[in-house]
């Protein structure tokens, strides 16, 4: 395979966007075309077959200029006026009720496909169409709260994006200091876990030899990372984020590293919410790292516990709780400003916090029987294992506010991912190390005596 | 936009295919997994969520090695065992019958989606998955005649490919003598209209300054052109293919050309039959040519008339025909071997043939009211106009056999494409030049007297 | 020509550097090889023919680790021990004195070539050799003051670099916000005219639509720009740098620009001092801009006048001067702090300064009859014309210190470059606009009366 | 390092060639410029400094159109009129005679440099200048026989090319079936050892998994390989070329190969004759292969013996010869047509031929004390060892005519290359295996009895 030939293919994709602007058939004046809703109707008509690119471009340009109310009107119109052919649905339903054969089901599926789907596919004909549709979904997500009928449109977009952003079409790329600046600035913008404080901070995260960063890209959105993960190479499982990000730390020679720590993973496109990439990215990056640095033995995260403080406050105030009354009393120390800097408090509070964290991760459950913590749901759902509780891992204001400083490590052991995932998916079971499990038993003897 | 950065993205796509082989989690032995049908079940289960890439790769490798009977069994299994959740369909049908709201229709559509679709999407996770699925559809098309239940699977694949091969994701590339040889040999292989007789012939079609060739590619199938078109730059509308392909012709300086002649357009992937690219390709190439050579004024095809001989033979033998008895008698001259080399015959037969051709294109209709000629359906459906009848345009054995040597030119006038297309799509109207229309009137006076 | 194929060629160049490290024949231990001087002798011997890459790499690695004294010793050794074959020189001299034929001169040239030249060419075999030699010349330039015998080595390096960095091998590249960060940071580092104050300032200079930046690169030094030029698109010839660099200025639509202003040109490699690129870069960029923006009519610089303050101070203090006593008295106002902010002073001083500037550029001459101002020598030598005197064009501390704020514009009119250059090269003539010439005549009437 | 950024650098090189045509300053009409000789004078004058690109382009275009006589006149003019500054040479000679210091020698070298060198360097400013100069040297080499004064110009060109085509600037690229066709056809054209019989034969040499081909390229001549080598992967040292090139042979899995056989190495540019690349290419390819296929243990050639038949014929007819009278009598069998197909002859002749070959390689020497065989001089000069004599290795007409079918293998053992090369360079010693050495002793006892 001639890689450069392929590479030029993609270059062409992007060029097209700029070049085509102003080209192509413009057989009808804008006035003649009517408003954006009429254009949408055109696009799924015979006209759209002949002049799809031009009409799609026009719709996208106009949509971009709409105010919120007009957007609601346009989007609602898509829901109301671009459903399926009602008669065909009715016929398909009758046929299926008579004989629910595979062919009848297939016809039912097809008949019930709203014309919106074809409309959305044709909007993609425009240069920059894919990104425009991702942004349109951002709007839908924003507006859906007030306009519940848009939920149907959201389903259509998710359906489409599931096909288009199939992991088979995504490309993983290493991000480093030789990456174009316009990509790098998006890392600064999108970093969701540990904020990047300008170019010097960014550089510290991607240039040193013991740092890695990878992102998924889609060929159609080449300047837009979809998701990225930041990694530190270390010699053991770290228990706090501060030392990893310290400006004055001394880099490790990559050959000496034994552990890759995924300390931040951030989605970039709100409009792709719910289209899952993270699991694939982590697994592929584990593969890449193993290839480059075969001596690596351990792949872990250093993760926040975003729901811990809220849960713990609940427990502290609840009538009944799995936490003992004395433990709950100890936790009042958390209300003292600067508690995390006070050695005496830390010593008293640590075993209680570790025990509480174990209960939070292993026992606290949502109505659907899943862990309360959203980050836990993500990593456990990927087949990772809860490996370690990091008491006082993140003393940033956010870290203290959302989790009283607590962090955790999830371990990605590729040999056990499938097994863990199945147990989790089938039974909601939380894979956890024996050390974490042991924390469930609160041996209070010694301390109670004190 | 940094084009090279994007370009490298795509290079990565292709590298992935080779690199990933042998990598990734292999948590279960093949034996433990069971047969290919069991693997397919795994792929849509929770196991598939965790180990999708590995299972997909395994299925594709095994499928490749199956014999015809085993393929039928596997593919039929997909139809029978990977339908939708029956109960959910039943509920959705009931809900819809109660209240056919957009939400109910949406749910009906989703409920009726066979799990096959998800299975196919997950097969795409494997390196090379897209191409494997295109090849799988080739099998389905081949087998469908004997196994009509596979029709449902074909519908699923078409649905998927319509999303994946959306024109917004395709890339047009010029093919020339600096194109990699492994791509070029595919042109030799796939050329469907005027056979390419080896490398020297190929070179004559793509290297001279007055020749162009363009193809559509998909990022995931970068070594595989999807469709390509061959173009000659000329100073007028040509009426025969021979001079265009002559080995000893003298090339024209591109700046002197006024006309671009699309003389061959060939699909490459049987497995993408029905996913329409040709219309887009022609229009985009017209754009590219206009940009490079602004002096071009005319964009025409030089096209075969593949159904003409069969239709004409019918008319000649029919009880009644729009062709006059005397004309039909004249046409008996076509039965003489070498008629096309005989000046006297040619002179007598030409007006009759031109008249017959006009009737063939303008009046002969299929049951659905479309032109009988498949090539005409394609170009007229694209919004082109039948511009010229070329009596004795192709004297190759195939040209004589299928059309008594007749060829035609379709004109692509971007200003009128939409209008033509609509008239065609709505009413089956054939856009034709006045010269062609005039041929309908057979003024036989002078000749009858002779 | 298949551009991507070529492109990959170059990619290979860079890969080679990293890949080859550690590869290749290592037939002798370092100890056996002896010291760096012995290695240099090896490199030009038969050993060097067989193992040139390995020896060259070793020399470069060791050279890098030397202290200043050791470097002097090594470099002086190159001068003393790697001259030409003395006997061959003597024979060639005799032959030439007997018969100064072209063949005799040719032999004289070759015989007198020091073996150093071959040594330097072989050092280039090492990965990264070219850059190492550029850095070695930096050392030579630094050390030459104290070690005049190194001058000979400098001549050798210049001779070699003149061949290697022949403009035919250089590549002009646009620099913009999608350029890799590791290139961009070099702009911040090397900008020599108007300092770039961090990433935000850099971005203001390369991202807006009315800004351009171009650099020359050499294939072997791909991460290292050789020289770059910064350009502002404007609607007229600007007379001050401040507004061009203002953080809050409003960008101009490129299509509305009539003028391209080269406001900064900076060399990046001290080791390439004296190898002239600037003239070529400006002319090529003019070509590029004309192609992209055909409506541009004017190509000017906005340039500092680095020698003006020193010259003016001299004139003010000289016994006799072309400046009149009253003008020289007026110039005492320049000694008042903040003079450039005082409207009254400005009004009085402006005509005097403009007149003085005209004398500075048009009449003040070095011993060799060239303009005193080094920037003037560069642009006039390129064939540009002194177009406009900008009184108070640069009020930065540096601008005030070196030129009392004066700036000038040089006009690049491609039609007249050759003529201007010849007049300058032959006679030292300064091409200047009539407006500048007119300033030579100091009409003091009105003001003297006041 | 961002490889794609570098890659695009090079792409720009090639684009420049086409884009710049027609651009750039054209301040004087052709008529005004005078003839090509006058243009050459312009190019090294001040005009050339200002308008070098335009003048260089003009000279190259005109040179191309010259007839042979005009070329001789122009090239001779370069020799006669573009020598050095005679007075400066005279001064430098005097200074050197007074004090032959490094500075004086340096000045002698520089003073004696003909202005031709600068002229040639400036010709390189034109787009395509490097290739034009390579072609100019082809002319010089062709014409030099009749015009011995051109020898001096040849020396200038070689001097320049030695700098420009320094191995540090060359790029090795693998050639395979995904290489652009315009490159591949050059392999067919330039293959000098075993002719490539069209595209199918080419494909057999580069596409199978057990075949490799590598070439050196220069960034400025990206469509023009400089030299290429063809390699077969095998399980042992082959003794004949036929089986390697057989159309119906079964490819070997690369992993099973133990041996890489360099069976053809061809220079492509006659104009670069004497600029040595071959040695570097072989060594670098050995490195590449070792990296890709670490199990390879043996790197040998399968080489022709182009001088063997001529030498042997001499010996057979000479008064005295190291070959015994009876052996020489046996060799008369070589005069029988088809001898190489006759088992009986083969058996009788083989030991004599092997013995003669040993004498040819180990003892026959040129006047300068080097091996008579030019291919032997190349490989032994590279430090390879004569490993094996292949009796009847090449029965092609050429193989029989030049060497009575004899071929040999040279072994590249990177550990011993330096040692072998030095022994060869210092003493003309032929490194040979003990098996080859043993052939020198002709044990005729058994056979003489027969």
pLDDT digits (tens, 9 = 90+) for B133-166: 999 999 999 999 999 999 999 999 999 999 999 8
pLDDT digits (tens, 9 = 90+) for C142-169: 999 999 999 999 999 999 999 999 888 8
Pick from B12, B83, B125: CB nearest A171: B12
pLDDT tier at A74 (50, 70, 90 boundaries)?
very high
Report the pLDDT value the prediction gives residue C193, as an integer from 0 to 100: 83
pLDDT tier at D278 (50, 70, 90 boundaries)?
confident
Instruction: Give DSSP secondary structure letters for A127-146.
Output: TTHHHHHHHHHHHHHHHHTT
* Distance between A173 CA and the closest CA of chain B, angstroms: 7
pLDDT digits (tens, 9 = 90+) for A57-70: 999 999 999 999 99
Report the pLDDT value the prediction gives residue C54, as an integer from 0 to 100: 86
Q: Which residue of A has its CA nearest to B285?
A: A24
List of chain D residues whose C-beta atoms are within 8 Å of the C-beta of residue B178: 180-183, 223
Higher pLDDT, B38 or D23: B38
Pick from A23, A156, A425: CB nearest B287: A23
* Contact residues of B toward C, CB < 8 A: 1-2, 4-5, 7, 178-180
With pLDDT > 70 as the criterion, what percentage of chain A qualifies? Answer: 91
Most confident of the ranges C414-423, D232-241, D280-289: D232-241
List of chain C residues whose C-beta atoms are within 8 Å of the C-beta of residue B4: 7
pLDDT tier at D32 (50, 70, 90 boundaries)?
low
Measure the CA angle with vertex B71, ends B70 and B73; round to 5°.
Answer: 65
Q: Given an 8 Å threshold on Cβ–Cβ distance, is C155 in contact with D418?
A: no
CA proximity to D357, closest of D301, D299, D435, D422: D435
Q: Which residue of D has its CA nearest to B6?
A: D4
Q: Which of B135, B303, B434, B445 is catalytic?
A: B303
**How many whole angstroms separate alpha carbon D165 and alpha carbon D280?**
12
Report the pLDDT value the prediction gives residue D33, as an integer from 0 to 100: 53
pLDDT tier at C5 (50, 70, 90 boundaries)?
low
Report the pLDDT value the prediction gives residue D19, as an integer from 0 to 100: 39
What is the pLDDT of chain D when averaged over all its residues? Answer: 88
Q: Given an 8 Å threshold on Cβ–Cβ distance, is D3 in contact with C25?
A: no
Query: Residue A128 above 60 pLDDT?
Result: yes
Is residue D42 within 8 A of residue D33, CB to CB? The reply is yes
- Terminal-to-terminal C-alpha distance of chain A: 72
Q: B428-437, D11-20, D152-161: lowest mean pLDDT where?
A: D11-20
Report the pLDDT value the prediction gives residue B32, as an integer from 0 to 100: 53
With pLDDT > 90 as the criterion, what percentage of chain C qualifies? Answer: 72
Continuous segment of H or E residues that includes residue B228: strand B227-234
Q: Given an 8 Å threshold on Cβ–Cβ distance, is B102 in contact with A83?
A: yes
Q: Which of B6, B178, B184, B217 to mutate to test the interface with C (most CBs of C within 10 A)?
A: B178
Handedness of CA A97, A102, A105, A106 (dihedral sign): negative
Q: Which of C3, C8, C9, C46 to mutate to test the interface with D (most CBs of D within 10 A)?
A: C9
Report the pLDDT value the prediction gives residue C32, as an integer from 0 to 100: 53
Query: Residue C338 above 60 pLDDT?
Result: yes
Q: Which of D45, D303, D321, D446 is catalytic?
A: D303
Q: Given an 8 Å threshold on Cβ–Cβ distance, is B8 in contact with D8?
A: no
* Distance between C263 CA and the closest CA of chain B, angstroms: 25
SS percent in chain B: helix, strand, coil, step 5:
55, 10, 30
pLDDT digits (tens, 9 = 90+) for A337-379: 999 999 999 999 999 999 999 999 999 999 988 999 999 999 9
Query: Residue A18 above 90 pLDDT?
Result: no
What is the pLDDT of chain A when averaged over all its residues? Answer: 88
pLDDT tier at B49 (50, 70, 90 boundaries)?
confident
pLDDT digits (tens, 9 = 90+) for D110-122: 999 999 999 999 9
List of chain B residues whose C-beta atoms are within 8 Å of the C-beta of residue D180: 177-181
pLDDT digits (tens, 9 = 90+) for C90-120: 999 999 999 999 999 999 999 999 999 999 9
Report the pLDDT value the prediction gives residue B425, as an integer from 0 to 100: 85
List of chain A residues whose C-beta atoms are within 8 Å of the C-beta of residue D180: 2
List of chain C residues whose C-beta atoms are within 8 Å of the C-beta of residue A177: 180-182
Q: How far is CA D61 from CA B191, C43, D220, in A?
A: 40, 41, 18
Pick from C1, C7, C180: CB nearest B178: C1
Q: How far is CA D425 from CA A283, B376, C114, D360, D371, in A?
A: 56, 76, 22, 19, 12
Q: Given an 8 Å threshold on Cβ–Cβ distance, is C178 in contact with B1?
A: yes
pLDDT tier at D444 (50, 70, 90 boundaries)?
low
**How many whole angstroms separate alpha carbon B189 and alpha carbon B195?**
9
Report the pLDDT value the prediction gives residue B33, as an integer from 0 to 100: 53
pLDDT tier at D234 (50, 70, 90 boundaries)?
very high
Measure the CA angle with vertex B96, ends B94 and B101; round to 5°.
Answer: 155
Report the pLDDT value the prediction gives residue C15, as an integer from 0 to 100: 43
Q: Given an 8 Å threshold on Cβ–Cβ distance, is A4 in contact with B10?
A: no
* Distance between C212 CA and the closest CA of chain B, angstroms: 14
Q: Given an 8 Å threshold on Cβ–Cβ distance, is C50 in contact with D418?
A: yes
Q: What's the rounded mean pLDDT across residues C205-225?
A: 92
Provide φ and ψ at D410, rounded to 5°: -105, 135
Looking only at the bridges linking them, the beta strands covering D211-217 and D227-234 are antiparallel
pLDDT tier at A48 (50, 70, 90 boundaries)?
confident
Query: Residue D338 above 70 pLDDT?
Result: yes
Pick from B24, B173, B415: CB nearest A12: B173
Query: Residue D26 above 50 pLDDT?
Result: no
pLDDT tier at B14 (50, 70, 90 boundaries)?
very low
pLDDT digits (tens, 9 = 90+) for B104-141: 999 999 999 999 999 999 999 888 999 999 999 999 99
Written as six digits, the tokens of B357 are 């051709």
Q: Given an 8 Å threshold on Cβ–Cβ distance, is A1 in contact with D178?
A: yes
What is the pLDDT of chain B when averaged over all its residues? Answer: 88
Q: What's the rounded mean pLDDT across residues B353-375?
A: 94
Name chain A's partners: 3 or more CB pairs within 8 A: B, C, D
Q: What's the rounded mean pLDDT across residues A391-408?
A: 95
Q: Which of C171, C226, C429 to mutate to test the interface with D (most CBs of D within 10 A)?
A: C171
**How many whole angstroms separate alpha carbon A59 and alpha carbon D291?**
54
List of chain C residues whose C-beta atoms are within 8 Å of the C-beta of residue D171: 9-10, 12-13, 16
| Active centre residues of A (catalytic) | 303, 379
Written as six digits, the tokens of A163 are 């096909």
pLDDT tier at B1 (50, 70, 90 boundaries)?
very low
Written as six digits, the tokens of A159 are 């359906």
List of chain B residues whose C-beta atoms are within 8 Å of the C-beta of residue C178: 1-2, 5
Handedness of CA A154, A157, A163, A168 (dihedral sign): negative
Query: Residue C195 above 90 pLDDT?
Result: no
Report the pLDDT value the prediction gives residue A191, as an integer from 0 to 100: 87
Query: Residue A207 above 90 pLDDT?
Result: yes
Name chain C's partners: 3 or more CB pairs within 8 A: A, B, D
pLDDT tier at D355 (50, 70, 90 boundaries)?
very high
**How many whole angstroms separate alpha carbon C129 and alpha carbon A408?**
48
Query: Residue C449 above 90 pLDDT?
Result: no
* Contact residues of A toward C, CB < 8 A: 2-5, 7-8, 177-184, 198-199, 203, 223
Q: Given an 8 Å threshold on Cβ–Cβ distance, is B179 in contact with D177?
A: no
Query: Residue C261 above 70 pLDDT?
Result: yes
Query: Residue A298 above 80 pLDDT?
Result: yes
**How many whole angstroms separate alpha carbon B432 and alpha carbon B417?**
12
Report the pLDDT value the prediction gives residue C443, as an integer from 0 to 100: 65
Q: Which residue of A has its CA nearest to C6?
A: A4
Q: Given an 8 Å threshold on Cβ–Cβ distance, is B180 in contact with D182?
A: no
Q: Which residue of C has its CA nearest to D77?
A: C102
Query: Residue D15 above 50 pLDDT?
Result: no
Report the pLDDT value the prediction gives residue A445, as an integer from 0 to 100: 55
Q: Which of A20, A84, A99, A112 to mutate to test the interface with B (most CBs of B within 10 A)?
A: A112
pLDDT tier at B450 (50, 70, 90 boundaries)?
very low
Report the pLDDT value the prediction gives residue C448, as an integer from 0 to 100: 43
Report the pLDDT value the prediction gives residue C1, as an integer from 0 to 100: 41
Q: Which of C33, C129, C418 to mutate to test the interface with D (most CBs of D within 10 A)?
A: C418
* Distance between B294 CA and the closest CA of chain A, angstroms: 12
CA proximity to C387, closest of C361, C414, C353, C405: C361
Report the pLDDT value the prediction gives residue A443, as an integer from 0 to 100: 65
Is residue A82 within 8 A of residue A114, CB to CB? The reply is yes
pLDDT digits (tens, 9 = 90+) for B195-217: 898 999 999 999 999 999 999 99
Query: Residue A1 above 70 pLDDT?
Result: no
Query: Residue A42 above 90 pLDDT?
Result: no
């Amino acid at each position: 395979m001639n890689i450069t030939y392929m590479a030029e293919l993609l270059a062409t994709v992007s060029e097209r966007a700029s070049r085509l602007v102003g080209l192509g058939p413009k057989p009808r004046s804008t006035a003649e075309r009517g408003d954006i809703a009429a254009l949408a109707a055109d696009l799924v008509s015979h006209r759209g077959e002949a002049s799809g690119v031009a009409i799609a471009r026009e719709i996208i340009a106009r949509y971009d200029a709409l105010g919120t109310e007009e957007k609601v009107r346009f989007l609602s119109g898509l829901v109301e006026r671009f459903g399926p052919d009602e008669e065909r649905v009715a016929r398909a339903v009758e046929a299926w009720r008579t004989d629910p054969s595979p062919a009848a089901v297939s016809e039912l599926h097809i008949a019930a496909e709203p014309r919106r789907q074809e409309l959305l596919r044709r909007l993609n004909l425009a240069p920059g169409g894919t990104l425009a549709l991702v942004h349109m979904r951002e709007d839908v997500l924003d507006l859906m709260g007030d306009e519940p009928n848009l939920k149907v449109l959201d389903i259509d977009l998710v359906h489409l994006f599931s096909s288009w952003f199939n992991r088979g079409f995504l490309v993983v790329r290493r991000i480093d200091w030789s990456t174009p600046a316009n990509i790098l600035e998006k890392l600064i913008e999108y970093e969701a876990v540990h904020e990047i404080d300008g170019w010097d901070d960014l550089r510290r995260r991607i240039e040193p030899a013991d740092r890695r960063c990878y992102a998924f890209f889609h060929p159609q959105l080449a300047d837009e990372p979809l998701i990225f993960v930041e990694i530190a190479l270390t010699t053991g499982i770290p228990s706090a984020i501060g030392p990893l990000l310290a400006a004055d730390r001394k880099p490790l020679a990559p050959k000496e590293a034994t552990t890759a720590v995924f300390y931040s993973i951030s989605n970039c496109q709100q409009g792709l919410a719910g289209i899952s990439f993270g699991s694939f990215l982590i697994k592929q990056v584990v593969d890449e790292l193993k290839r480059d640095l075969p001596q690596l033995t351990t792949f872990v995260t250093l993760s926040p516990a975003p729901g811990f403080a809220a849960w713990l406050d609940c427990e502290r105030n609840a009538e009944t709780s799995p936490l003992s009354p004395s433990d709950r009393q100890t936790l009042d120390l958390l209300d003292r400003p600067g508690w995390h800097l006070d050695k005496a408090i830390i010593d008293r509070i640590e075993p209680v916090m570790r025990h509480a964290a174990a209960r939070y991760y292993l026992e606290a459950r949502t109505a659907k029987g899943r862990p309360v913590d959203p980050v836990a749901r993500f990593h456990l759902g990927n087949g990772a294992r809860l490996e370690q509780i990091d008491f006082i891992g993140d003393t940033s204001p956010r870290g203290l506010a959302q989790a009283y400083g607590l962090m955790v490590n999830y371990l990605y052991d590729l040999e056990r991912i499938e097994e863990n995932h199945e147990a989790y998916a089938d039974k909601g079971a939380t894979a956890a190390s024996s050390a974490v499990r042991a924390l469930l038993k609160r041996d209070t003897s010694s301390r109670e005596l004190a």
